[in-house]
């Protein structure tokens, strides 16, 4: 699966979840389009002893979300 189509699928799922939770569009935008990403190439050791290279992606940590947005989301969903 191409990285772009994977990103699109994840963003679509995130949008669906955000709508069900009632998150503001501003919070959704922060989550869908992180300011920073980390891309790494990992070597995975398989059960049969062989090694397989793999790309890995991660977004900025949740602590990068402005405190106002994080506290707003917590208040809404703490019931």
**Residue 52 — pLDDT band, cuts 50, 70, 90?**
very high
CB 52 within 8 A of CB 43: yes
The pLDDT assigned to 78 comes to 46
3-state secondary structure of 49: coil
71 pLDDT above the threshold of 60: no
Task: Give me the residue spans of the domains in the chain.
Answer: 3-68
pLDDT digits (tens, 9 = 90+) for 1-49: 565 677 788 889 999 999 999 988 888 888 887 777 777 888 999 999 9
54 pLDDT above the threshold of 80: yes
Distance from first CA to last CA of the chain, Å, rounded? 39
Helix (H) / strand (E) containing 72: helix 67-76
Separation of alpha carbons 71 and 26, rounded Å = 13
For residue 31, give the nearest of 55, 61, 4, 52 by alpha carbon: 61
What is the pLDDT averaged over residues 36-63? 81
């Amino acid at each position: 699966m191409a990285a772009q189509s994977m990103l699109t699928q994840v963003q679509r799922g995130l949008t669906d979840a955000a709508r069900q939770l009632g998150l503001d569009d501003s919070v959704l935008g922060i989550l869908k389009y992180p300011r920073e990403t980390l891309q790494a190439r990992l070597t995975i050791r398989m059960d049969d002893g062989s090694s397989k290279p793999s790309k890995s992606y991660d977004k900025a940590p949740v602590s990068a979300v402005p405190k106002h947005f994080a506290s707003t989301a917590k208040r809404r969903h703490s019931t």
